[in-house]
């Protein structure tokens, strides 16, 4: 430890010298690492956002219950009470014809003028039922069999699709992570091996002078870890702009999509990408150092 | 300091580099290893620095046995050895100071001790005006002095020099031998190989190891330091 502290500046200077010795090649490797991490960052961001959106939608799961036309107010109250008693139902809210019309106006936005072509309000009143998503099938089944119920509309299909998309992104993320991991390990170990090859005489001299193995290897580890960390930072900077643009594009025209907080998404990405850079840099360097033969 | 018994070195291709011999070298001794090219001088030096292992007999340096699989001990021993290689093995692209400091960075010296010792030794070998010059820009003789400074600055118990007079004319060779001899102290032994026997003959208080095709003949003159 004492040797490490005494020689900290030397190790940093050595690792810079190792980087500079093969400057162009190392710069290209750095850019490649940055771009590889950039792809990974986007995939992880997509996975993170889609998971959050799916979870948010699942948390707000609702079904719409349409009842027979002309039902009296007391029967609507009876139906509401019966639905409330079904296991898994969290809330029941009556949406009358006017409110249904208003909601559609909001959804259509500028295109809402199309509704003026109708002489009468085309929308029926319905019951908006908040549910636990895990109970959806039994709830729909029970409500469908109730008296006066015409139709139960659920969004299960949409939720299933979202879940499926999230699962696919999950799988893609793991595959990308594996691919990026292997690629980074190969690139780093290659760079380190090159560095060791170019410094073989120096390494051999240090060995003859009695330098411990860690003393010889440390600059190479610093080089490898620094390169992956810089690559990771580069990818985060690029991703910041891209994700910012995606949020602008999505939150404007599609305000109903419950996007997670952008700051939290970036914060998670910073932790994951820098952590990965550190780990991959370390193991890439370790592989490079251990697989090198620098004996003259 | 060095104890060898029936020490022998045979290379993998069957070449007998050092034939079995016994020797004890104490602290403060001055030892010349002489012989023609190919006589086994450098092989013996390689054994002493632990870059070759004995194929027969035993070798103990500074209390540690030199044998295969004993790399920890060999690293420990190397901290106490100041080697001066025939081809110097200086690090290109680094200054004289950096090269000398490099040899001291892992033997427990503080940065200020390293800085001070490197400066003092470089001044002692006559390179006070070349401290911050890259070794790539130094002459052959200056590089040799940097190599000596790197070996000596570590305050070793044993200085090993391989053909330090190799490319020097008579006057400079004598100066080089005197310079190396000046680093011999009560605690520090100096062992050097040379084929310039005419320059070292009759040197009092020295041990001569004459080598001829691996055969070792030891001659002592006077006492150790």
What does the pLDDT look like over B11-50, one tens digit per residue? 999 888 898 988 888 888 889 898 888 888 888 989 998 8
Q: Name residue B206's beta-bridge partners.
A: B221
Interface of A with B (CB under 8 A): 2-3, 6-7, 10, 17, 201-202, 204-206, 208-212, 215
A296 lies in some domain: no
Question: To 5 degrees, how large is the angle CA A216–CA A219–CA A225?
Answer: 135
Q: Name residue B193's beta-bridge partners.
A: B33, B162
Chain A residue numbers touching B49 (CB-CB < 8 A): 208
Domain boundary among A154, A172, A196: A154
What CATH number is given to the structural domain containing A88?
3.30.70.3040
Say yes or no to pLDDT of B225 above 50: no
- Domains in chain B: boundaries: 1-80+156-225, 92-154
Same domain assignment for residues A168 and A284: yes
Same domain assignment for residues A49 and A196: yes
Select from B75, B85, B111 the Cβ nearest to the Cβ of A210. B75
pLDDT value of position A82: 92
Residue of B nearest to A4 (CA): B106
DSSP A113: G
Task: Report the CATH number of the B1-80+156-225 domain.
Answer: 3.40.50.300
* pLDDT tens readout for residues A158-210: 777 777 877 887 888 888 888 888 988 898 888 888 888 888 888 999 989 98
Q: What is chain B's Cα-based Rg?
A: 17
Same domain assignment for residues A69 and A100: yes
B79–A212 C-beta distance less than 8 A: no
pLDDT value of position B222: 60
Same domain assignment for residues A76 and A107: yes
Q: Which residues does chain A have with pLDDT short of 50?
A: 295-296
3-state SS assignment for residue A260: coil
Q: Mean of the pLDDT values across residues B63-73?
A: 83
Select from B78, B83, B89 the Cβ nearest to the Cβ of A201. B89
Range of the domain at A68: 62-154
pLDDT value of position A283: 93
Domain boundary among A119, A154, A189: A154
Domain boundary among A129, A154, A179: A154
Same domain assignment for residues A223 and A239: yes
B102, B154, B155: best mutation site toward chain A, by most A Cβ within 10 Å?
B102
A208–B110 C-beta distance less than 8 A: no
Residue of A nearest to B93 (CA): A17
B110–A209 C-beta distance less than 8 A: no
ipTM exceeding 0.85, yes/no: yes
Select from A3, A201, A202 the Cβ nearest to the Cβ of B106. A3
Same domain assignment for residues A148 and A123: yes
Residue of B nearest to A200 (CA): B91
Same domain assignment for residues A254 and A193: yes
Q: Which of B81, B61, B1, B30 shows the shortest CA–CA distance to B225?
A: B30
Same domain assignment for residues A51 and A180: yes
CA distance A4 to chain B (A): 9
Same domain assignment for residues A45 and A168: yes
Same domain assignment for residues A149 and A192: no
* pLDDT tens readout for residues B125-167: 889 999 999 999 999 889 999 999 999 999 899 999 988 887 7
CA distance A292 to chain B (A): 18
* First vs last C-alpha separation in chain A: 29
B91, B97, B102, B106: best mutation site toward chain A, by most A Cβ within 10 Å?
B106
B89–A204 C-beta distance less than 8 A: yes
How many CB pairs below 8 A link A and B? 47
Q: What is the H or E stretch that residue B33 is in?
A: strand B30-34
pLDDT value of position A248: 85
What's the domain count of chain A?
2
Chain A residue numbers touching B83 (CB-CB < 8 A): 208-209
3-state SS assignment for residue B220: strand
Same domain assignment for residues A212 and A272: yes
Same domain assignment for residues A272 and A255: yes
Chain B residue numbers touching A202 (CB-CB < 8 A): 91
Q: Phi, psi at residue A42, to the nearest 5°? A: -65, -40
Q: Mean of the pLDDT values across residues B190-215?
A: 81
Neighbouring residues of B2: CB distance < 8 A, sequence distance ≥ 6: B23, B24, B25, B48, B59, B60, B61, B62, B158, B189
pLDDT value of position A252: 66
CA distance A286 to chain B (A): 21
A280 lies in some domain: yes
pLDDT value of position B176: 83
Interface of B with A (CB under 8 A): 49, 51, 75-79, 81, 83, 85, 89, 91, 93, 102-103, 105-111, 114, 154
pLDDT value of position B224: 46
Residue A285: exposure state from Cβ atoms within 10 A (0-12, 13-18, ≥19): buried
pLDDT value of position A296: 43
A210–B76 C-beta distance less than 8 A: yes
A104 lies in some domain: yes
């Amino acid at each position: 430890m004492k040797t490490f502290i005494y020689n900290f500046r030397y190790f940093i200077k050595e690792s810079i010298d190792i980087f500079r010795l093969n400057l162009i090649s190392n710069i290209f490797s750095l850019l490649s690492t940055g771009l590889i991490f950039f792809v990974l960052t986007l995939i992880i961001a997509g996975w993170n956002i889609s998971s959050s959106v799916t979870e948010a939608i699942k948390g707000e799961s609702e079904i719409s219950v349409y009842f027979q036309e002309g039902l009296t107010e007391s029967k609507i109250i009876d139906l509401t009470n019966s639905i409330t008693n079904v296991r898994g139902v969290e809330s029941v809210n009556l949406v009358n014809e006017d409110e249904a019309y208003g909601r559609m106006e909001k959804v259509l936005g500028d295109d809402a003028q199309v509704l003026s072509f109708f002489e009468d309000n085309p929308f029926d009143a319905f019951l908006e039922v908040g549910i636990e998503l895990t109970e959806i099938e039994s709830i729909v089944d029970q409500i469908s069999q109730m008296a006066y119920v015409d139709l139960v509309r659920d969004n299960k299909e949409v939720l299933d699709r979202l879940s499926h998309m999230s699962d696919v992104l999950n799988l893609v993320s793991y595959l990308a992570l594996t691919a990026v991991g292997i690629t980074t390990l190969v690139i780093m170990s290659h760079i380190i091996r090159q560095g060791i090859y170019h410094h073989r005489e120096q390494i051999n001299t240090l060995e003859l002078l009695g330098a411990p193995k860690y003393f010889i290897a440390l600059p190479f580890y610093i080089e490898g870890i620094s390169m992956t960390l810089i690559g990771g930072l580069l990818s985060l900077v690029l991703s910041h702009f891209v994700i910012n643009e995606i949020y602008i594009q999505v939150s404007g025209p599609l305000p109903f999509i419950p996007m997670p907080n952008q700051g939290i998404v970036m914060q998670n990405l910073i932790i994951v990408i820098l952590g990965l850079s550190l780990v991959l840099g370390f193991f890439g360097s370790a592989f490079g150092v251990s697989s090198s033969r620098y004996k003259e | 300091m060095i104890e060898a018994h029936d020490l022998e070195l045979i290379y993998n291709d069957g070449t007998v580099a050092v034939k079995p011999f016994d020797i004890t070298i104490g602290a403060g001794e001055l030892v010349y290893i002489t012989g023609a090219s190919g006589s086994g001088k450098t092989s013996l030096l390689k054994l002493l620095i632990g870059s070759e292992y004995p194929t027969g007999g035993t070798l103990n340096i500074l209390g540690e046995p030199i044998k295969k699989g004993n790399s920890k001990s060999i690293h420990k021993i190397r901290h106490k050895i100041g080697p001066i290689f025939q081809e110097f093995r200086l690090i290109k692209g680094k200054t004289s100071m950096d090269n000398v400091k490099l040899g001291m960075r892992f033997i427990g010296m503080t940065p200020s001790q390293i800085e001070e010792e490197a400066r003092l030794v470089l001044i002692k070998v006559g390179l006070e005006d070349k401290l911050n010059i890259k070794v790539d820009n130094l002459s052959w003789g200056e590089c040799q002095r940097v190599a000596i400074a790197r070996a000596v600055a570590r305050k070793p118990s044993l200085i090993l020099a391989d053909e330090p007079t190799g490319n020097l004319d008579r006057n400079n060779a004598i100066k080089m031998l005197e310079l190396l001899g000046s680093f011999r102290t009560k605690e520090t032994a100096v062992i050097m190989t040379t084929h310039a026997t005419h320059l070292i003959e009759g040197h009092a208080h020295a041990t001569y190891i004459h080598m001829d095709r691996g055969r070792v003949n030891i001659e002592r003159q006077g006492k150790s330091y």
